[in-house]
Structure 1
Amino acid sequence: MKQRGRHRRRRRGQALRATLAGTALALTAAATLISTSQATGSNSPGGLTELRAGPAARHLRLHENPASRESLDTLSGSMGGNVGVEGVLADADRTMRGTGDCSGRERSALPVEPAATRAYCWDGADARTRAWQPRSVTTSGDAEATGRWGTRKVILAGWTRGADTTASTGRDAGFARVAFVDATDPDALRYRWVLLVAPSAGGKDFTAVRAGLGGMVWYRDKLIVTAAHGKGLLVFDLHRVLRAGVAGAAVGSTGDGGFSAAGYRYVMPAVGSYDPEGGSCGRPGAAPCIGSLSLDRTTAPASLVATEAATDRAERTRVWRYPFDTAPYRTGLRADARGRVDAVEAYATKGTGISGVLSHRAAGARESRWYVGRPAGSGARHAELWRQDVDGARAATCTADQSHACWGLGPGALSYWPQTGELWSMTDPAARRVLFAVPLSSVDASVG
C-alpha cells in the first residue's frame, strides 16, 4: 500500500509540474502580447549609475574577522563532533507540501507573471507562525558547480524571529534559524531546522546569533548571511553543524556537560564575520547597511552581490559586488593582507525598498543584468521584479490591471540555480508562505 501510494503521489507531482509549466508558458506568452517597452513611469527605478572608485567605494569596504579555530574545535569536541549537512538531512522531521496540497490562499501569493513552475508550502505551524519570518534562500546550485552537495540537492531557507528585528524585544528576539531542505526528490521535499549560534567562553559554550538574514549565500562550504540590522556579514561553515543533546528552552551549556538550543536539535556556530571598516553602518557618510545577498557565478571569480537595506529616507539605493577568493585553502571573500575586502563593482539605482537582488550575465553578453525585487507601493499586494542595466529598467506588465505588481506577495530574496536555470524566491506573509521557482528565461521573456 505504501509503495502504491508513493507512486500515486509521484504521478500526481509530475502531472502538477507539467500543468504548472504549461501555465507558465501560457502566461509568459500573454505577457509578451502586452507592451513591455522601456518603463519610464514614476515607479521605475531607472537605469543604474556606476559609482566610481573613491569615497563611495571606500564606504563599501569590509574587514574580515575570523573566529578562533581553537574555540571552534573545542565546541565541536564538547558536542560530540560535527554532523554536517548530511547528518541534518538524514534526520529531517518536516515535510513541505507540493503545489496541489497548498491552500488557495497560499497559491494566491505566487507571482502572476511570469508564473511559477515549482512551488512548495511549509509544514504545519511553520506556515502559520507570526513569530518567525522567512527572509532568504540559497541552494546547492550556489554551493557547487555540480548543483549538489554530495549526492543531494539542497535548499537553505533563512528565517528570523520577529517580523522587525529592529523593534522586537524579548529573550529570543532576532534569533535566526535555517531550514535545511532535502530537494533531491522534487516530489518529496523534507527539512529540519538549524539554529545559528556563536561560540563563547573559548568554545565551552555558545549563544544564539541575532541576524537579519535578509540575504544568504552558500558558496563551497561557507554560508554568508546578513547580520542584525544589516551591520555586516556573518560566516558559517557547513561542515560545522553540531547536535544539541538536551531538549531544553535554554541556549548554550546546561552546566552538566550537555548543551541546549531553545528546543532545536542542531546548531551551526559562526566561524567569522565581515564588518564595515568605517564602523556602524547607516550613519551619514558611512557604510550602507546590507539588505540582501545573492551569488553570481557568471563573473570571474564568482562574486557576492549585495544591496543596501531599505530605509524610509533613501532616495537612491546602492548595489555592488565583492569577489570570492580563488586560493584553494580559502572559501571566503577576497581580502588583502590586512583583512580588507573591497567591492569590485558598484551602482546606484532610484529603486528603493529593495529586498532581493541578483546579478547574472547571459552567455555571450558583454554586461551583467541586475534584477531587483521591491514593493509595488501602497495598496498593491504583489511586489515588482525589475531588470536593470545602465540604460534603464524593465518589468513585466500584468495582464489583468496593466501594473508591474506581478511578482510574489512580499518581495523575498533572490537566488539563481545555474544547473536548472531557475530563479528561486519566497513569499513571506503568515499563512501565505510559499517557496517557489521561476525560469530566469521566463522572467526575461516577460519583460520583453
Structure 2
Amino acid sequence: MKHRGRHRRRRRGAALRAVLAGTALALTAAATLISASQATVADDPGALKPLPSSAETGVLRLQERMTPTRSLDRLASAMGRPVGVGAVLDSADRTLREAADCTSEERDSLPVTPAATAAYCWDPADTTGTDWQPASVTTSGDADDDGTWGAHRVILAGWTHSTTTGPTAERGRARVAFVDADDPRHPVYRWVLLVVPDDGGRDYRGLASPVSGMVWYQDKLLVTAGTGAAEALYVYDMNRIQRTTVDGPAVGRVPGGWSADGYGFVMPAVGSYRFPAGHCSTAESGTPCPGSLSLDRGSAPDSLVVGERTPAGGDRDARLWRYAFSVEPARGGLLAADPLGRVDAVEAYRTGATGIRGVLSYRQPGSERSTWYVGHPPGDLDGHGTLWRQDTDGAKAAHCGSDATHHCWAEDAGSLSYSQATGEVWSVTDRMLFSLPLASIDRSLG
C-alpha cells in the first residue's frame, strides 16, 4: 500500500472550504487548518541574506562531465534510432482525471489559498498499491518561451520510488510522466524511465535518485541527483529517447534486446554536474544537496534556480542560488561553463525557510531585482504547507481566509514551474497535478 502515514495523522478540526475555479467547473478542496497559535512569527523565514564571500559560494561550484558521444552513439546503434517527445506522446497509455472525478482525499491535498484553477489526479494504476511518489514538474513553457514543444503543450512530472519499501530492484528509481496537455479536459501521459549509460554505451542502468527538482530547457532536461552524492544534477537530451524491445523485469541489455522493467521508453543521461568540493551534506557550510529546481527567464541570461534540500522543521537556514545557462549555440540547454568545464553560481542567498519543496525566482518587467517564491511544509510534515514570497527586505505568505495561519499551500507540495507564455505556475502534491496563475499568488500575499 502507498506510504501515506503522515496524512493519516491529519488533525481534526474545522474544515475550510475554498472554491477552486476550474476550466469548466468549480473544484472544491477541504483542508484542516493548524491552529492560529502555531502560526507565529517563528514561521516567517525573514529576508533573504546574500552570500557575498567566495568561501560561502565556492562550495556551490559545479564541474561539468559530459558522456562521450561515442558511448551514446554506440547505445543508439544497438537499440535503434532515438525518438523524440512526439513519439512518446503519440503512444500515451494513461489518462489524467479532472478534479471532479478525483477522490475527496486527493482534492484535499490542493492549496486552500490561493486556489488552483486546474487540477488533475493520476491514473489509479499509478497510485494504488505503489511506492512511487511525484515530487517535481517542468513544462514546455520552460523548454521554449512560446509555451509549446513543436505542436504540443507538454507537462513533465518526475516520480521517484521509495528507497525502503517495495521490490528491492525498483527502490530509488526515477521515471518521468510525459503529459500531452493539448486538450486540458483530457490530458494523457506515458512513462519514460531515466537511465544512465554503462560500459561505454554497451548497456545502461536505472537512475537511482530522488527527482525532487527538474527543469526542461531547450532540448535538455536537468534533474537532481541523490542525497549524499557528488553529482548535483544529471542531464538528459530530449532527442535521445530510446524505445525498449523486451517487456521484462530487468533494466538494461537482456537476451533478445533491451528491457526497462516494462517501460516502453528510456532516456539515457548525456552528462552530469558534480561538486568538486565533495559529496553534498547537511552541514550548514558544507556542499549543499540540491532539492528544488526551476527556470528563471527574467534573468539575463536565463538561469537555473536551485533550493537546498534541508530537514523540514529544522533550525538551519537553507541556501538559494542560481547558475546561468550558456548562450553558446553549440551548448544549448547546458549551463554556462569556463573552458575547464567549471560552473559558478552567479547569485546566492540564505533563507530562514526549511525543508524547501519548491522555489521560483521571477523578475517583474521593469524591476531591478528578482522576487523569490519558496514553498515548504509544516514542521511535522502533517497538513498543508506554506508558500512564501521573499526578497532582501522580508517575506510574505498568504493568510487562510480570516484565520491567522499561513498553512494554506498544498499538502506535501513538490517543485514549482512558471510558464512565461501563460502566466501559470505548475506544481504537484503526492496525489495531484495542478496549476494557478502567478498573479493569484501575488494577490493572495497582499
TM-score in terms of structure 1 length: 0.88
Q: Match of 1:352?
A: 354
Q: Match of 1:235?
A: 235
Q: Match of 1:213?
A: 211
Give 1:40-439 correspondences, 5 Å limit. 41-162=41-162, 165=163, 170-229=168-227, 231=229, 232-256=232-256, 258-282=257-281, 284=283, 285-311=285-311, 315-331=316-332, 332-378=334-380, 380-399=382-401, 401-428=403-430, 433-439=431-437
Aligned AA for 1:277? P
Aligned AA for 1:384? T
Alpha carbons 1:423, 1:439 under 8 Å: kept: yes
Alpha carbons 1:230, 1:291 under 8 Å: kept: no
Local SS of the residue matching 1:329: helix
Local SS of the residue matching 2:105: helix
Alpha carbons 2:228, 2:279 under 8 Å: kept: no
Alignment RMSD, CA only? 2.0
Alpha carbons 1:168, 1:174 under 8 Å: kept: no
Local SS of the residue matching 2:170: coil
Q: Cα offset for 1:18?
A: 4.6
Q: For the residues of structure 1 that align with 2:408 and 2:282, how far apart are their CA atoms? A: 34
Q: Cα offset for 1:169?
A: 8.4
Q: Cα offset for 1:59?
A: 0.7
What's the % identity of the aligned pairs?
A: 53
Aligned AA for 1:390? T
More displaced stretch, 201-210 vs 382-391: 201-210
Q: Cα offset for 1:208?
A: 0.6
Rate the CA distance shift 1:60–1:168 in 2: closer, same or farther, 3 A. farther
Q: Match of 1:32?
A: none
Q: For the residues of structure 1 that align with 2:221 and 2:381, how far apart are their CA atoms? A: 36
Rate the CA distance shift 1:126–1:81 in 2: closer, same or farther, 3 A. same
Q: For the residues of structure 1 that align with 2:345 and 2:164, how far apart are their CA atoms? A: 27
Alpha carbons 1:211, 1:228 under 8 Å: kept: yes
Alpha carbons 1:20, 1:116 under 8 Å: kept: no
Aligned AA for 1:17? T
Q: For the residues of structure 2 that align with 1:387 and 1:160, how far apart are their CA atoms? A: 28
Q: Cα offset for 1:20?
A: 3.9
CA offsets per residue over residues 37-93 of structure 1, 9 Å max, x none?
Answer: xx9711110000000031111010000000010010111111111111111100000
Alpha carbons 2:381, 2:412 under 8 Å: kept: no
Local SS of the residue matching 2:366: coil
Q: Could you tell me which runs of 5 or more consecutive residues in structure 2 were left unpaired when the two chains were aligned.
A: 1-20, 30-38
Q: Cα offset for 1:127?
A: 2.8
CA offsets per residue over residues 268-299 of structure 1, 9 Å max, x none?
Answer: 00000000111111164431111110000110
Alpha carbons 2:282, 2:310 under 8 Å: kept: no
Q: For the residues of structure 2 that align with 1:215 and 1:242, how far apart are their CA atoms? A: 23
Q: Could you tell me which runs of 5 or more consecutive residues in structure 1 were left unpaired when the two chains were aligned.
A: 1-14, 25-38
Q: For the residues of structure 1 that align with 2:185 and 2:166, how far apart are their CA atoms? A: 37
CA offsets per residue over residues 301-360 of structure 1, 9 Å max, x none?
Answer: 100000111236651000000000000110200010111000000000111111111100
Q: Match of 1:17?
A: 23
Q: For the residues of structure 1 that align with 2:128 and 2:151, how far apart are their CA atoms? A: 32
Q: Cα offset for 1:19?
A: 4.0
Alpha carbons 2:196, 2:205 under 8 Å: kept: yes
| Structure 1: 4+ residue segments shifted above 6 A | 166-169
Alpha carbons 1:216, 1:223 under 8 Å: kept: yes
Q: For the residues of structure 2 that align with 1:167 and 1:275, how far apart are their CA atoms? A: 28
TM-score in terms of structure 2 length: 0.89
Q: For the residues of structure 1 that align with 2:87 and 2:114, how far apart are their CA atoms? A: 37
Rate the CA distance shift 1:167–1:400 in 2: closer, same or farther, 3 A. farther
Alpha carbons 2:131, 2:165 under 8 Å: kept: no
Rate the CA distance shift 1:230–1:238 in 2: closer, same or farther, 3 A. farther
Alpha carbons 1:63, 1:277 under 8 Å: kept: yes
Q: For the residues of structure 2 that align with 1:103 and 1:16, how far apart are their CA atoms? A: 16
Rate the CA distance shift 1:129–1:415 in 2: closer, same or farther, 3 A. farther
CA offsets per residue over residues 110-164 of structure 1, 9 Å max, x none?
Answer: 11011000001101221334410101000000000111111000000000010xx
From 428, 443, 446, the counterpart of 2:444: 446
Q: For the residues of structure 1 that align with 2:124 and 2:181, how far apart are their CA atoms? A: 19
